[in-house]
């Protein structure tokens, strides 16, 4: 029997797990940064009036003249 008042020792570090967690964290940060940049681009274009329901540059379906999907 062990001492009931003693804190159990932490498990040994797992380098493979730490490496995988670091890669997942880096991928999540990159995805978040890409989403923030896309949102910033959209807000900038909306603020300038290039996109929106009342935009002079709008086409049917909400696409503007500067849409790259053409």
The residue assigned the tokens 């709008």 is 58
What's the pTM?
0.56
- Report pLDDT for 4: 85
The answer to whether 69 and 61 have CB atoms below 8 angstroms apart is: no
- Report pLDDT for 17: 94
Residues 24-41 pLDDT 10s:
999 999 999 999 999 999
- Report pLDDT for 57: 62
Instruction: List, for the chain, all residue ranges whose pLDDT scores fall below the cut of 70.
Output: 1, 53-70
């Amino acid at each position: 029997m062990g001492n009931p008042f003693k804190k159990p020792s932490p498990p040994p570090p797992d380098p493979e797990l730490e490496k995988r967690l670091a890669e997942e964290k880096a991928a999540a940060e990159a995805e978040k940064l890409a989403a923030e940049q896309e949102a910033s681009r959209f807000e900038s274009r909306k603020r300038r009036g290039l996109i929106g329901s009342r935009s002079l540059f709008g086409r049917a379906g909400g696409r503007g003249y500067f849409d790259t999907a053409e």
